[in-house]
Structure 1
Amino acid sequence: MRPEEIVVAPTPDSSRDTAPLRASGRTGGRRPPRRTGAGRRSFTSTLAALDELATSGARVAVRVADLDRGTTVLAGDDNDTLPVGGLGVVPLLVEVAAAFEDGRLNPLEIVDRSAVEPVSVSGVWQHLKAPALPLVDLAVLAASTGDALAANALLRRVGLPAVRARLEALGLERTALLDRFRDRRGPDDAPQVALGSARELATLFSALVNSRAVSARVSAQVAEWLSLNTDLSLVASATGLDPFAHEDDGHGLLFVNKTGRGDGVRAEAGVLAGPRAGVSYALIVCFDDLSIAHRLRAHDAFRILGLELMEYVF
């Protein structure tokens, strides 16, 4: 993070009622940043971890906002546009759900895998025997397993211009899906799959769970798909949720997230809500992936943020 102020807000009142949310079913050397507000909840461990990453040369952007109030809980370089890897699937899913709702696409339209250029960077469809699947199942695969082949099939069907228009309609100016997933990127290809800012990604997830992304039905559909995400290895590792079955936790915890990965890129955005509070969040770290130690240091920052978010919402 560059030498600009990180905002840290007070801990929410423990008496605040989040029942309406649950009932709805919504699923280079840099100086360290300054902190404001003595006596406020400081996210001290998170700030220390992010400061260490920034000092080592990583680019870091973070945003945490109170889900109901919309107030900033934690922010640093959250307007910076950075690579976000598979997080670019989220606006694609929004456009797909909107197309299902308005009838431009039939959810049960069958897509043959042979019609999509092979890609093996992530996902399970490439390993399945089923040679063809309906669009709605491809959306589930893209959301739940980060399936690159499924995402490319959806993108081939709706087109990049439609996703860009959807982002514009959502008011997201620093977030873009640039290209399909590829095993290798040549000189004529976009250098990244997707770009985004922590502020806009956190805002998008807030809109999804508060039924403000396109429509209530579209918001609910995308949130439902994303609630199936099995990647709980970063921020989500602090939740203790079962990666394969976490829709109904039984402890008053609501969680929806999506991660993004690439060479030297780790990103996650989502919503976490507990008995005391709910937050939307996004953390992006771009680092020199020189060794396992460098990678694990980046991962640790996500897990530390997860722990302090859990303390905030509980």
Structure 2
Amino acid sequence: MGTSPEPTRGTEARRGTRRGEGGKLSRRKAPGKRSFKSSLAALDALAASGAQVSVRVTDLDSGEAVLVGDDYVTLPVAGLGVVPLLVEVAAQFESGELDPLELVEREGLEPVDIAGIWQHLKAPTLALVDLAVLAAASGDALATNALLHRVGLPTVRARIEKLGLTRAAVMDGFRDRRGPDDAPHVALGSAREYSELFAALVNSKAVSAGVSAQVSEWLSLNQDLSLVASATGLDPFAHFNDAHELLFVNKTGRDSGVRAEAGVLGGPRAGVAYAVIVCFDDLSISHRLRAHEALRTLGVELMEYVF
């Protein structure tokens, strides 16, 4: 799937994806709510430096997009592609097509040395439901590949279509190195559709209430709170029941020159579904930290919005 052309003028204005003067990212500010001035400045600076930036924040109560910038553009999203895979796995658990306790042998899988902990465990065999937990909680590459191998890439692609994600694709599993015969990316997607997917999950509209609840439960275990989520102050290892009643579910995607995150953040004042994708030249640690800082700035202003 390639990057789609920019919408026409009329469509763009209606959807709120128009860029402001000077090529700056646009946004709508909900009445009585806080703006995203610092986030806009940080993301604009990334775009000015040559990065591709896509972002969308939607108020869950009103359905209004309160921050939008090129949210229709299809970009690499790395580990975010795990989310539709988990939706398919949960759907097959619910229908009985898959047994959650079906065992998978690690020995039969191609080794992957990137992110994950199963490769470091002594247990050579795990149940499918445990692999789903590992994929959601730690971005475990080997567990993700095992799930993808079990349900099949065509089935996941069919699920993506059923979810109405027209600008998303899961292209391949995780690999230590990508050769000329391999897909160039694990997954592609747009900020708009991933924010909508997370909104559907927390509103029990992704496949069914049961599937939505199961996938949300898995994702609530995610331990990567280092990007947008760093502003929440949550314990990365135990944040399902927060003492301050902060609702939070997220998933991140990381690859060389790719940082992406999508999720739902809810507080006493408001709730939002968000997604942000940044693709940049990872030439130095400073380039990488600049991208991280922009995402963390967005996290701070999301917290201000919901509280």
1:76 maps to a residue whose letter is: G
Structure 2 stretches of 5 or more lacking a match?
1-5
AA partner of residue 232 (structure 2): T
Matched, 1:275 2:268: yes
Q: Confirm whether residue 32 of structure 1 aligns to residue 10 of structure 2.
A: no
Contact 2:34 2:304 in 1 (8 A): no
Query: CA 1:35–1:251 in structure 2 vs 1: closer, same or farther (change >3 Å)?
Result: closer
Quote the offset at 1:285 in angstroms: 0.1
Q: Which of 160, 177, 202 pairs up with 1:167? A: 160
Any gaps of 5 or more consecutive residues in structure 1? 9-29
Which of the numbers 212, 215, 227 marks the counterpart of 2:220? 227
Tell me which residue corresponds to 1:26: none
Do the aligned residues in 1 keep the contact of 2:204 with 2:212 (CA within 8 Å)? yes
Structure 2 residue identity aligned to 1:70: G
Q: How far is the alpha carbon of 1:39 from its aligned partner?
A: 8.5
Secondary structure in 1 matching 2:81:
helix
Q: CA deviation at 1:73?
A: 1.1
**TM-score, normalised by the number of residues in structure 2:** 0.92
Normalising by the residue count of structure 1, what TM-score does the alignment of the two structures yield?
A: 0.90
Task: Give the Cα–Cα distance (whole angstroms) in 1 for the partners of residues 274 and 16 of structure 2.
Answer: 14
Q: Deviations over 1:9-36 (max 9, x none)?
A: xxxxxxxxxxxxxxxxxxxxx7323556
- Which amino acid counterpart does residue 234 of structure 1 have in structure 2? L
Q: Is the 8 A contact 2:258 2:277 kept in 1?
A: yes
Equivalent positions of 1:100-139 (< 5 A) are: 100-139=93-132
Match of 1:62 among 55, 65, 81: 55
**Is residue 51 from structure 1 mapped to residue 51 from structure 2 by the alignment?**
no
Q: What is aligned with 1:94?
A: 87
> Any idea what SS the aligned residue of 1:166 has?
helix
Q: 1:217 aligns with which of 195, 210, 216?
A: 210
1:174 touches 1:196 (CA, 8 Å); kept in 2?
yes
Contact 2:258–2:280, Cα closer than 8 Å, also in 1:
yes
Note if 1:158 corresponds to 2:168.
no
Which digits, 9 at most, give the CA deviation of each residue in 1:189-234, with x for residues without a partner?
0000000000000000000000000000000000000000000000
Structure 1 residues 253-294: Cα deviation after superposition (integer angstroms, max 9, x where no partner) = 000000000010000000000001100000000000000000
Query: 1:166, 1:125 → 2: CA distance?
Result: 26
**Corresponding residue number in structure 1 for 2:245:** 252
Query: Secondary structure of the residue that 1:75 maps to in structure 2?
Result: strand
Shift in alpha-carbon separation, 1:123–1:101, aligned structure 2, 3 A:
same
- CA distance in 2: counterparts of 1:81 and 1:310, whole angstroms: 27
Q: Within the alignment, does 1:308 sit opposite 2:306 as a pair?
A: no
2:139 to 146, 170, 183: 146
CA distance in 2 between counterparts of 1:209 and 1:36 reads: 23
Other structure's SS at 1:309 match: helix
How many Å apart are 1:71 and its aligned residue? 1.3
Secondary structure of the residue aligned to 1:107 is coil
Establish whether residue 71 from structure 1 lines up as the match of residue 25 from structure 2.
Answer: no
Secondary structure of the equivalent of 1:293? Answer: helix
C-alpha contact 1:7 1:73 (8 A) present in aligned 2: no
User: How high is the sequence identity, in percent, across the aligned residues?
Assistant: 73
Q: Deviations over 1:173-195 (max 9, x none)?
A: 10111001100000010000000
CA distance in 2, matches of 1:193, 1:90: 12
Aligned residues of 2:28 and 2:65 also touching (Cα < 8 A) = no
| TM superposition shift of 1:97 | 0.2
* Residue 120 (structure 1) shift: 1.0
Asked if structure 2 preserves the Cα contact closer than 8 Å seen for 1:87 and 1:267, the reply is yes
User: Residue 12 of structure 1 aligns with which residue?
Assistant: none
